[in-house]
Amino acid sequence: MSLLVVDGLTVVYPGAGRPAVAGVSFEIEAGRTLAVVGESGSGKTTLALALAGLLDRRARRGARRLEVNGEDLLSAGRKRWRQLRRTDISFVFQSPVNSWNPTRTMKAQVKDGMAASGRAGRMPELYDLLGRVGFEDPERRLEDLPHQLSGGMLQRVSIAVAVIREPALLIADEPTSALDSTVQSEILAILGELRREVNLAMLVISHDLSVVSRVADDVMVMYGGKAVELGSRRNALHSAVHPYTKGLLDSVPSLDGERKTLLPSMAPGPLPAAGCPFAPRCGLAVDECRRTEPDLAPVGATLAACPPAAAASTYTSGSPSASTRSSTPASSTSEGSPGCSDAAGAEGPP
């Protein structure tokens, strides 16, 4: 049974035309990591907040199913959500600096967090954990105010406080994108290691595919609030079907050289009122795309929300990599996505 079940999750902010998250469905099994990828404004943070009961009070949330550990959370009240955050669901935010009150010492705040999960008296365990993730002399350094510590140090504390309560689900919203690259890899390594130890399910958000390829078991690509592609890491990265996913892959500098293509019309224009959100930027768009909103459906080795691409791939089902190539957006001149030759992965979607 999956640890987290999300079915048809929709979040609408007041005054917004389109939902920020529109009918997203996926599951995460215990011990697995799902990476959510997508450009700015695609609804990644909104999705993550909804899963922790941390949405703005004004936001409206709906879903067919929302379950953690088999418990239905659609009817959970604010109290229950707080309880879940204390024991089952941990959150690591994008900006380590903004995650802490600038006017209170780290120790005071960390203690508050420990007390909230019933671990007030177990600070030494936290110091141990911090020491292990490369935070030197934690007992003394935590006396500092947040701005006296570096981003990497602060994020180590955030992660330690999140993990020490041994949650079932850890949600990390772009945990490394505010850090410089060496620190990024350190933090990713820490996350990966702790995750294996505690065997927790993890949802990692990123707009950076290199992060995804390091930590994820499965990948979900979002565009305009919708999940447009969902599959195992290998399949989503190597035999992607959806034009947006392929554009994303092509815009990553390829390992073997200079070639690097950006998505057509990167200007984040307004999303269309109806139909496929990607239609204005899609080289494959047909009239039908502007009328009906496609949903995820099995295509080749992944799930993709794009009927035209699905159709194209069935014609050429004998060679998935050829189909991938043929449906690449017109302006793309890329010959190969990063190391994509071993496209036919064996893993199925979760």
Which residues are near other proteins by CB under 8 A?
49, 52, 54, 82-83, 85-87, 90-91, 93, 95, 98-105, 109, 112-113, 116-117, 145, 147, 158, 161-162
Site size toward ligand SF4, by CB under 6 A: 14
- The site partner of 40 among other proteins, ligand ATP, Mg ion, none (C-beta below 5 to 8 Å per kind) is ligand ATP
From 14-22, 98-106, 151-159, 276-284, span contacting ligand SF4 (CB under 6 A): 276-284
The C-alpha torsion from 17 through 18 and 20 to 21, rounded to 10°, is: 150
CB of 122 to ligand SF4, least distance (A): 50
CB of 328 to ligand SF4, least distance (A): 12
Q: Does 345 bind ligand ATP (CB under 6 A)?
A: no
How far is 313 from 124, CA to CA, in rounded Å? 56
Instruction: Write the DSSP symbol of residue 275.
Output: S
Q: x/- string (CB under 6 A) for ligand SF4, residues 303-342?
A: ---xxxx---------------------------------
Q: Using the rule CB under 6 A, which residue among 154, 282, 301, 312 binds ligand SF4?
A: 282
Q: Give counts: helices (H), strands (E), the chain.
A: 13, 13
Q: Does 249 bind ligand SF4 (CB under 6 A)?
A: no
- State how far the alpha carbon of 211 is from the alpha carbons of 99, 181, 192, 214, 215, in Å: 21, 11, 11, 5, 7
Report strand pairing: 218-223 vs 33-37: parallel
Alpha helices in 61-180 (DSSP H): 78-87, 106-116, 123-132, 138-141, 151-163
CB of 67 to other proteins, least distance (A): 20
| Residue nearer to ligand ATP on the CB measure, 263 or 343 | 263
> Which of 66, 81, 74 has its CA nearest to residue 24?
66
Q: Residue 99 in 3-state DSSP?
A: coil
Q: Residue 334 in 3-state DSSP?
A: coil
The C-alpha torsion from 144 through 149 and 153 to 156, rounded to 10°, is: 50
R_g over Cα of the chain: 21
Q: x/- string (CB under 6 A) for ligand ATP, residues 191-210?
A: ----------------x---
Q: Does 40 bind ligand ATP (CB under 6 A)?
A: yes
Q: Does 46 bind Mg ion (CB under 5 A)?
A: no
- The site partner of 16 among other proteins, Mg ion, ligand ATP, none (C-beta below 5 to 8 Å per kind) is ligand ATP
- The site partner of 13 among ligand SF4, other proteins, ligand ATP, none (C-beta below 5 to 8 Å per kind) is ligand ATP
- The site partner of 64 among other proteins, ligand SF4, Mg ion, none (C-beta below 5 to 8 Å per kind) is none
Angle (CA) 240 244 246, round 5°: 40
Q: Using the rule CB under 6 A, which residue among 16, 120, 297, 322 binds ligand ATP?
A: 16
- State how far the alpha carbon of 99 is from the alpha carbons of 14, 90, 164, in Å: 25, 13, 17
Binding site for ligand ATP (CB under 6 A): 13, 16, 20, 38, 40-46, 56, 207
Binding site for Mg ion (CB under 5 A): 45
